[in-house]
Structure 1
Amino acid sequence: MTPGDASPAFWSAPATFLRRLWQSVAFRLALGYGASVLLFMMVLLSVLYVQTIGVLQGRIDRQLVSASHRLVGHFEAQGRQRLVDEITETLTDGLNRDTEGYLLATPGGRRIAGNITPSPALLQPSPDITDQMLLRDGRPSFSRIHVERLSDGSILVVGRDMQDQQSLEQLISHALAAAGGVALLLAVIGAIVFRDQLERRVGDIRRTAARIEAGDLSQRIPVSGRDDEFARLSHDINLMLDRIEILMDGVRHVSNTIAHNLRTPLSRIRAKLDVVNRPGADLAQVSQAAAFAIREIEELTLVFDKLLQIAEAESGARRQAFQPVSLNDIVSDVVELYEPVAEERQVRVSTELAEEAIAPGDKDLLASAVANLIDNAIKYAGSPARVSVRTVQTPEAVSVVVQDNGPGIAPAERSKVGTRFFRLNRRVPGYGLGLASVTAIAHLHHATFELDDAGPGLIARLTLPRFGPA
């Protein structure tokens, strides 16, 4: 029978089978389990890849730095000619001839010794080890190099050809791709093979779901003694249905986090009080310990107040009290409040206010958010320290923008700064609640909170819907 003679039912049968297969919860669960195993394997192999390549590159970097320091030592101790002789001896000793590269050049770019052809890109000293394409013995070579400027102005370049490293990276990459393909194929085949067995286990879940839908929320899925996929799934669904246990787990998690982050100040208070509780403590020591304990307790009180504020903002309890608020007034008041702190830390704070910046919101919460942004900017400002605070309006929105010239935040870390107790630099005082509070307040106001690179520094932008007609 030719394709033209085939009936529509003949061609629709495979499509129907595939559609029913995909509609099967058991198939999708088994496929998902296989995919999770595949993901775990790929993550494990990726870590292995990164660690392997990282170790090799780290060893090469240490060799480059060591060789550079050795040659610089010869130069400083015995002069340029000794350095030239050392480079020549190294290149002619027959060891690592295919990979090593050296160059000693004048500040103008004339080669004095070595097997690397000078180029403008090579004559730029840098504390970092970089990768460059260069000419080594007249042949192109992708190398990792370390460049130093000597005391007489000449340039010393120490390099290592990376062809072997690239070959190893390609080999590992191909192995990862092959392993991923095989694992994916096994995941699909395994999902099809176990589909019938898994579908027999879904009946308990369906019956329990029907009883819960009828209103009996005390029902739970029977869990077999087997430690298989459906036993774990049934256990997870039971946990989800058990609301009290979920709430208790949430409270326990928050309590553990608070205990972990507040243990240090409480330990400091205890240690201070233990010292003055010993026999022989004089009145001055007792007074000093009491003052210290009061300061620490006040800081803990601020932490709990901040946590309560975050919880209140996340719950949305104050949304009904929103009124038109002038962001210009809030910025002016907060900047005035922080002027003594900025002056003490020698931080220059400048403001730039839009003609009109009105947004619906809670004035106290918005003021707290702006204060947290300014406080954070003052803490991390560079030298000379500068912080700018401005309001910006568009036809649809108004924003408060706080910018500093500090170290900024790496893109990979920006998604974490809104997490309670997350701190990038633990040498800076704080508990990691400021930006978490800003995030919660922004969510309450249907606003957006963004962090961008200022190059150098950080730009924090709180954007709210504009009040009234555009």
Structure 2
Amino acid sequence: MIDRLVGLWRSVGFRLAFYYGFLVAITMLAALAIVYLQTVGVLHQRMARQVGLTAQQLLTDVNEGGVDVAGAAIARALTDGRDSDSEIYLLVDREGRKLAGNLDRAPGAVAHAVPTQRRVERDGRSVNAYLVMYALSDGGMLMVGQDLRDQELIESLVASASAAAGIVAVLLLIGGTFVFRQELERSVSAIRLTARRITTAGELRERVAESGEDDEFALLNRDINAMLDRIESLMDGVRHVSNTIAHNLRTPLTRILVRLRSAERADNDPAQRRDAIQGAIREIEELTLVFEKLLQIAEAEAGARRRRFTEVAIDVIATDVVDLYEAVAEAQGATLLREPADAILLPGDRDLLAGAIANLLDNALKYAGQGAVIRVGTQETAEGARITVQDDGPGVPDQELTRLGTRFHRLSHDGTPGHGLGLASVQAVAALHGGQLRFESAHPGLRAILELPRATR
């Protein structure tokens, strides 16, 4: 039993429910105590006021008309039918003889004007009374009071109701604790079950079951599922990159090995050996560029450079890149057009954004062909900024649009230089800035759209 209680107490849901229920119970009991004290206090105040007024009136009668007048007033009060069963009077002379009233005998106590509770004899029964006693000038004594049976009955009813309410509060506390724990356990169990399956089986396709509700746990489930989607996507990307690197490196490494073995042969003349070594050096330099690109993408995806963000002018960066590429475009017979731009200031990394725009321009110049017209635009949007690079070249098939930006993915293998990492690096820069890169057909040509928010997430 103790072990079970200890196990329950270790549950966060049980402790939260217990604390909440305990606070509710304390609040209810405090409210009941206040009601009880206020009710009893009001009754006591009413009784004290009534007894005091009656006693003062009788004292006035004694002072003005003597004990006979006071006795007659007591007799009328006991027969008028108003509170006659609870009113207490007693008027005695200096010898202790009863002159008027409904008490059997005077209680043995000295006179005092401060109301007190004491036992008195009335109609042969001992009752608890609220009583004041005044000494008269002729040596007699006047007693005025109120039978407390009705008062005690009311207090008993209020106390019983408070006790019943307290018991109900405790039962609600106990029941509510278990119900709250079960509800919390039900909401958390789906997350725990999914996490256990992923941990034991390594199956990243597992997702937390959606409840269809809109409470905090439903939002948490969606966030966890979104996180798992992202993790699965990253793991797929890692597998894809690993496979692609292994596939793409095998050919250049084989060529390097062949060239170096050729250079190793002693019978080769110096010119052939020099050509073999220079070819191997070029291959190694190409591989170095590939790894540098991959490292840049990894650094951007990890968010390591976000702390370097400053306010940058997006329009100025785009204009500088266009100016830089004008000579390249002219050499290829292409035309670069800088469309009217809005002045836009956003937080970001100037070098990375410039590199991203340069990659989009380089991609457009590479695939749009001779005589292409390439337009670069920057527009301010409600969310932030939109950078567009559009060409009028042959474009991309619709089924290929979603694959653009995948690492090592290339549309053609006709000898066009590149490794399929340029657009992937733009994707990484967009993600680092909390934005996105998307592509759409321009009819003719391709339109690349880089959207950046006003504040990174």
Q: TM-score, normalised by structure 1?
A: 0.46
Q: TM-score, normalised by structure 2?
A: 0.47
Q: Which has the larger radius of gyration?
A: 2
